[in-house]
Amino acid sequence: MKFNFMNTFKKAAIAMGVIAAAAIARPYIVGVDVSWVLEDESLGAKYYHDGKQQDLFDILQDHGINFIRVRTFVNSCVGYATESYSGANSKVCWCDLDHTIALAKRIKAHNMGFFLDFHMSDTWASIGKQYVPASWKGKSNAEMGKLAYDHVKTTMNALMKEGLRPDMVQVGNEINSAVSGVSISKTAEFANIINSGVKAVRDIDPSIKIVMQHGRPRPDGGFESWYNKIDANIDYDAICGSTYGTTNNGQDWRDMFGLVTKKKKPVLSCEYTADRTKLINGIMNDFGDLGWGTFVWEPTRYSNKPMFDRDGQKYTANARLDELAAIAKQYNATLPDWVGAKAVKKLTVKTAAAAGGTIAQSIEGSEIAEGSKVTFTAVPLEGWEFTGWTGDNSGIAKDYTVASLNKEVNLGANFKFVAKDSLNYEAENAVFSNTIFEDKHAGFSGKGYANLDNAVGSFVTIPVCLPSEGEQKVRIVFANGSTANRPVSIAVNGEVQVKSQDFESTSEWTNWTSKDVVLKMPAGVSNITFTSTTADGGPNIDKIQFVVESIDPVVVPPADEKDSAKVEEGSTDSTTAIVNRRLEQSRAALRLRNGGRSFYVNGRSVNELQRRASRIKTFNK
């Protein structure tokens, strides 16, 4: 009730001239999207106001603009740039990371707010145009989520390193029906792409505002059902819309944005043209503190009523830009207090999982914002068991939560081997880096296999547990459906023992074969790491096996043939002694015991073989 009264009071006061508009104004965004500026400047664009040539950002600032929106793409080199909408050189990767940094520097130099728009595509993403980035094609939804996270985080990290913190970020552009080629009808998969990108922003700085955009916030644009899905499934702070067309003088916008403000969520227009300036800013202002403001889309050249008159490469500010300046002055459009905030202090987080498991973090990364709530989870691999934390925590519960991070973290996790088979290790039950679990190429054992990415340095680390030290023959089961050899280095506990092991083509990814290597292994738990050494990456690895050489059979004659029975040539030992000696030799080579568990040779435990040997009768001449 107080909110409605105050709005009514303000309007009445202004109308009666009782108090000056500037005196009662609140923080309000008067923004523009000028992502074309670098392209236009490359073509020779010059900007003028009152007959004087000026930097575009100076002209905008002089007209009360306080916020700039910038678009960026996954790989504009193969998409947006090649289409050259602006007419600029199509061989230049416009709106890539380097150009985003260049624009961000100009924004910060003018003390303006910085709104970063991730299109999550190689080219324009808009209503009905939501294409899968070329490098993401053929990937599973889980893989695409990781790629979305990495794309956003790489961009954000680069900006933060330069001191160019965005104040607002949107993940996806006009995501009415899809994002990155994933339909909103597949709600969980759609949400995974967006939330992965949002998480990358939150992990870097949780104070940055997250915005979701609808391309037609009207009843006939399906806004209500869209918003219900966004509100139920997406992590966001505010909702924005492209307010180009209206069916009833803006009432449709009021009604749709009103659904958002009823839930106490802020709204804004992130795209409109000069013919809507007065209408849309009036609507946003009427929402009070929940109406954050507006952004004109490409005011220098878009629509038949741009805010600049163009004569060749000469762009001159016109009356439409003056109209926006008047609104900025009327509202006394100062920036919200969250704009220009200093980057949140980061604290170092160091984790080290022993062989047999990993440590998952609710917020990823080795640097996490101060004050964040972080949960660390010990995740044992199959056949291993978590035994306890080391470092800052000495507990044995698998989850360890820091409610509010206020100091650096140093944390370790220990695991023990509990499986019965110490000879066979599935590669999917391992620690990956730039490697993914797959199960689409038939013929593998277990649940799947490890697919090393096509990059130098992709690796898989397989933990093993052996009873004794010494040289061991290790059989690697793999497939290489490419035409190229895919060598890897092989290290034991971080020490490279094989610098380059070839894995030749097997013609098809479903053709699984094996290759043997000899490794010097210590007793107990170890990590064996296979690392790609070329840009083609490594092979698909199914499993590794420790090869036990066969024991020569001992023939024991039956009782009625004892006269023909023979022992080893030149030996006076009994047959039982020979069998026992052979068993001991096998045991010494394998020593397949760990923590009281039994291990097996040809399907029989060593204990069973020993019991069978004790029942063998002795025959001597």
Alpha-helix residue ranges (DSSP H) falling in 205-307: 223-233, 251-261, 277-286
pLDDT of amino acid 619: 39
Measured distance between the N- and C-terminal CA atoms of the chain, rounded to whole angstroms: 111
Distances (CA, A) of 208 to 201, 203, 340, 346, 548: 7, 10, 10, 14, 58
Q: Are 480 and 507 in contact (CB under 8 A)?
A: no
* Domain-embedded: residue 68: yes
Sign of the four-CA dihedral 568, 573, 579, 583: negative
d(CA 374, CA 393): 14
pLDDT in tens, 181-202: 999 999 999 999 999 999 999 9
Indicate if 115 and 241 belong to the same structural domain: yes
* Domain-embedded: residue 310: no
Mean pLDDT, the chain, rounded, equals 88
Per-residue pLDDT band at 367 (split at 50, 70, 90): confident
pLDDT of amino acid 362: 87
Minimal CA–CA distance to 125: which of 253, 292, 271, 237?
271
C-alpha dihedral (445, 450, 454, 459), degrees to nearest 10 = -140
Taking the mean position of all CA atoms in its chain, how far away is CA 75?
16
pLDDT of amino acid 616: 45
Alpha-helix residue ranges (DSSP H) falling in 140-237: 141-161, 187-204, 223-233
End-of-domain residue from the set 546, 567, 586: 546
pLDDT in tens, 135-177: 999 999 999 999 999 999 999 999 999 999 999 999 999 999 9
Give 87: exposed, middle or buried? Use CB within 10 Å, 0-12, 13-18, 19+. Answer: exposed
Structure tokens at 71: 């678009």
d(CA 519, CA 527): 12
Residues 6+ apart with CB under 8 A from 161: none
End-of-domain residue from the set 417, 442, 466: 417
High-pLDDT (> 90) share of the chain, %: 79
* Domain-embedded: residue 388: yes
> Which CATH number belongs to the domain containing residue 471 in this structure?
2.60.120.260
Answer whether residue 551 shows pLDDT above 80. no
pLDDT in tens, 66-92: 999 999 999 999 999 999 889 999 999
d(CA 314, CA 308): 9
d(CA 260, CA 53): 42
> Which CATH number belongs to the domain containing residue 188 in this structure?
3.20.20.80
Indicate if 445 and 350 belong to the same structural domain: no
Q: For 126, which DSSP code?
A: B
Answer whether residue 553 shows pLDDT above 60. no
Which residues, in sequence order, are bridge partners of residue 240? 213, 268
Element (DSSP H or E) covering residue 413: strand 409-417
Indicate if 410 and 430 belong to the same structural domain: no
Taking the mean position of all CA atoms in its chain, how far away is CA 297?
29
End-of-domain residue from the set 391, 417, 443: 417
Indicate if 527 and 593 belong to the same structural domain: no
Q: Are 541 and 450 in contact (CB under 8 A)?
A: yes
Indicate if 597 and 517 belong to the same structural domain: no
For residues 319 and 588, the model is more confident at: 319
pLDDT of amino acid 516: 97
Indicate if 459 and 482 belong to the same structural domain: yes
pLDDT in tens, 494-512: 999 999 999 999 999 999 9
Q: Are strands 399-402 and 374-380 parallel, antiparallel or unpaired?
A: antiparallel
Indicate if 208 and 164 belong to the same structural domain: yes
Indicate if 398 and 540 belong to the same structural domain: no
C-alpha dihedral (218, 220, 223, 228), degrees to nearest 10 = 140
Residue 23: how many other CB atoms lie within 10 Å: 9
* Domain-embedded: residue 265: yes
d(CA 445, CA 620): 47
pLDDT of amino acid 584: 55
Q: Are 177 and 128 in contact (CB under 8 A)?
A: yes
d(CA 53, CA 551): 91
Q: Are 491 and 533 in contact (CB under 8 A)?
A: no
DSSP SS3 for 612: helix
Indicate if 131 and 263 belong to the same structural domain: yes
d(CA 398, CA 377): 6
Q: Are strands 604-605 and 435-438 parallel, antiparallel or unpaired?
A: unpaired
How many domains does the chain contain in total?
4
* Domain-embedded: residue 248: yes
Of 340-344, 451-455, 561-565, the one with minimum mean pLDDT is 561-565
Residue 368 lies in domain: 346-417
pLDDT in tens, 85-136: 899 999 999 999 999 999 999 999 999 999 999 999 999 999 989 999 999 9
d(CA 318, CA 308): 5
* Domain-embedded: residue 315: no
Tally of helices (H runs) and strands (E runs) in the chain: 14, 36
Residue corresponding to tokens 């007065």:
278
Q: Are 210 and 162 in contact (CB under 8 A)?
A: no
* Domain-embedded: residue 122: yes
d(CA 250, CA 334): 25
Average of per-residue pLDDT across 227-254: 98
Burial 476-501 (b: 16+ CB within 10 A, else e): bbbbbeeeeebbbbbbbeeeebbeeb
* Domain-embedded: residue 283: yes
Q: Where are the beta strands (DSSP E) in 52-140?
A: 52-54, 67-72, 113-118
Q: For 220, which DSSP code?
A: G
Answer whether residue 474 shows pLDDT above 70. yes
Which residues, in sequence order, are bridge partners of residue 450? 437, 541
Alpha-helix residue ranges (DSSP H) falling in 306-458: 319-330
pTM to 2 decimals? 0.69
Answer whether residue 463 shows pLDDT above 90. yes
Question: Of 173-187, 360-374, 536-550, which has the strongest mean pLDDT?
Answer: 173-187
Residue 397: how many other CB atoms lie within 10 Å: 12
Structure tokens at 506: 């097997």
Distances (CA, A) of 462 to 198, 497, 525: 32, 15, 11
Minimal CA–CA distance to 292: which of 122, 417, 168?
168
Minimal CA–CA distance to 221: which of 238, 245, 200?
245
Indicate if 411 and 432 belong to the same structural domain: no
Indicate if 220 and 108 belong to the same structural domain: yes
Residue corresponding to tokens 């973090």:
361
DSSP string, 449-465: EEEE-SSTT-EEEEEEE
Indicate if 34 and 171 belong to the same structural domain: yes
